[in-house]
Each structure stands twice: as structure tokens, then as C-alpha cells.
Amino acid sequence: MPKLSSDTLWEQAAAEVRHRESGAGQEAGEEAGEEAGGETLSERSVFLMGSKSGGKTSILLRCLDRDEPSKPTLALEYTFGRRARGHSTPKDIAHLWELGGGTSLSDLVQIPITPANIRSFSVILVLDLSKPNSLWGTMEKLLQAAQAQLDKVYSQAQQAEKTKAGAKHQPSVHPATRVLPKDYPDRELISPFPVPLLIIGSKYDIFQEFDSDKRKVVSKTLRFVAHYYAASLIFTSIKLESLMSKTKSFFSHLAFGVDRGKTVCCDSTKPLVIPEGSDSFSQIGSPPAADVDITSLHAKNPKDLWKKVYERVFPQESTGEQRELKDPAKDPQYSVPQIDAMRAQKDQELDQYKRNAAKSWKGLELET
């Protein structure tokens, strides 16, 4: 990444544009956090998505140590975080995107996922544990949308690399392939998500009051999903400081490359804390299907089997949420008095025009 001599956001943006135009964008693939003489600036991108009203904004604000009230996310919002490594070194920057609306705006994933940032990109999926009947559908649709865009961007980047290096050039890594250590548990049986993935189960304070059998189904299912995608998994609540502290360490690991600690908890009677590579299919066991005949489910693969068992216990509600009908222009949180007054005036003029036009048409009909 280019060296930035100022903390001013506009100068950072200008430097980034010059960097991309110089053709160095492809070289930005060096792992974020790599230093040259302790002076190189690290920039990473983190994309948050998940359950509607699942607490994404609140979790993000807490992870950034921002003491401000959370507001409903309007479509797709951007912010950034900075972290200094030392007194004399530049601050690392995390570009943070948050998708609102649950699954209804999943097509917006194409905005934050681009060839320019793909090699320093990670995803956080926030799932509302208090609403298990929409959990699988939300998870499935959002991960599919993100993975499709990641595959597309990887292909574009590789095509550009081929063109640049010549027709005989062969890419070293196939699109959407994340290289895992050779000793990664169940390495041959899983399907790693293309970029680092963190799954956060939110509202644990409500979830912990659920029946123990239902908690076990949700916990084991999310353990399976997280391990299948080579993702990290943590349960949290903004009302429980000890859990938020662990969540912040996982977030900082993705955003700034900070060590996330070595805490591991796979006990379904407690909040789960499972870094990627710390679980295995043998430890997770089979789907908790005491009242379900697994042989009758006709599953195509292990993931499909877990889905069918989970949906037997928690019949899924439709996640095809309608887009918000509420007009953002009338939302008090986006109020701008001068613009609102002009908008009201134009609305009145439009209504008057419609009434006059209706009278004119009625007059023409009578004459006819």
C-alpha cells in the first residue's frame, strides 16, 4: 500500500486513487500487516452483514470504542477505524462496511467487495440467536451472495493478471481458494470461505434463557457451519462485558491483525468461543436429531443434512424481506431543515399540479 503522510481522510483517499491508477493495485495483495522497516501502513477491509436488527451496529461501535447511540443502518454504510502500533509509526486503517436490512439488500455486496481490496478483505456475519427460526435462511442467503461476488472478483483479478503478464501466465491460486495449513482439521472435508470469516451469534443474554435442548441444536449447528467454512465462531451480547471483550479481540484480529487470544469454549451450555481451526467434525458429532429419523431426510451432503435437521426443530420463516417502504427523506434521524422545507414546498406544488391536471382532463372528457 502507498505511504500516507497525513491522517486527513481526503488525503488518504487521494493517495489511494493515485496508487490504483499507477497500476500498483494488484500488488496490494501482500498480506495486510506486513511491515518494511516498521513504517508501512496497513489497510484492511471488513464487511459486516447479518440478521435484521441483530445488533451489528451496536457491536461495531463497541469494538471501535465509540460511545454513541446506534442508529438503524440505512442500506449500506461505511466508516473506518484506526489503530496506532507505536508512538512514531503511522496508524493502521480498517475500512468498515455494514449492510443493513438483513437479506433484503444482499445485492449490495458488490459495492464493498472489489478487486482493489480483495486480498485484505474479511467478512463478519452477525446472526441473531434470539430468532432461531430465521437464522439458517439469513446465514445461507448472505453467505451465498458474498461468495458469488468474491468468486466474480477473484476471476476479474486473475483475468487482469493474465492479460498483464501474457497469455502463458498461469495464476498460482485458483479463484475462491483459501489456502489452509496442511494440518488443519478435516482439511479435505470442508469448503473454506474465500476470505477470513467470523460468525457472531448476538443477543446471547436472551438465548441463554432458551430450553437447553434448543440451545444445543443451535450451538452444534453453528459449530458445524463455522468449521465447514473454516470460520471463527463466537457468541456475544452487548449487555455482557466479558463477552464483548472477547468479541473485540476477534474483530481487532480481522481489522488490524491483532492477536485474538487463545480462549476456546465448545461447551453448548456456555457462550461459544471457537477460533478457526480449533474444532473438528469428530468433536462436533452428528446432528442432534433425537426426534428425527435422519435416514428419511434424503440429504445430498452433510451440510444439507444439518440444514434439514435444524429446520425440523426450527421451521424457517421467510427471509425474503420486503424492502423498507419507509421514506428515508421523512426519517427524523436524517433531518436537514433547509432541505426538508424546500422538499415540503415542492411536494405542495406537485399536489397542486396533480389537482389542476385532473380538472383539465375532466374538462376534456365533458367536451368530448
Residue-by-residue pLDDT tens, the chain, 368 positions: 444 444 566 666 666 666 665 543 344 444 444 443 445 668 899 999 999 999 999 999 999 999 888 888 888 999 999 888 766 667 889 999 999 988 888 899 999 999 888 889 999 999 999 999 999 999 999 999 999 999 999 888 878 777 776 655 555 444 446 788 899 999 999 999 999 999 999 999 999 999 999 999 999 999 999 999 999 999 999 999 999 999 999 999 999 988 888 899 999 999 999 999 999 999 999 888 766 666 667 778 889 999 999 998 999 886 554 444 456 666 665 677 888 888 888 888 888 888 887 777 666 655 55
User: Which three cell numbers mark 83?
Assistant: 489503530
**Whether this model's pTM surpasses 0.85:** no
Instruction: Give Dmax (Cα) for the chain.
Output: 87
Alpha-carbon distance of 345 to 44, in angstroms, equals 45
Which residue is associated with the grid cell 473454516? Answer: 230
Closest CA to 63 of 117, 126, 114, 6: 126
Q: Which CATH superfamily is domain 44-313 in?
A: P-loop containing nucleotide triphosphate hydrolases (3.40.50.300)
Closest CA to 220 of 275, 274, 279, 288: 288
Helices (H), 21-55: none
Residues in Cβ contact with 178 at an 8 Å cutoff, skipping those fewer than 6 apart: 192, 193, 194, 195, 196, 230
Question: What is the CA 328 to chain-centroid distance, rounded?
Answer: 23
Pairing of strands 232-235, 121-128: unpaired
For position 40, what pLDDT does the model report? 61
For position 179, what pLDDT does the model report? 83
Domain ranges of the chain: 44-313
For position 353, what pLDDT does the model report? 83
For position 158, what pLDDT does the model report? 79
Alpha-carbon distance of 271 to 222, in angstroms, equals 12
Residue count of the chain: 368
Buried b (16+ CB within 10 A) or exposed e, 155-167: eebbeebeeeeee
Closest CA to 249 of 219, 275, 223: 275
For position 343, what pLDDT does the model report? 85
DSSP 11: H
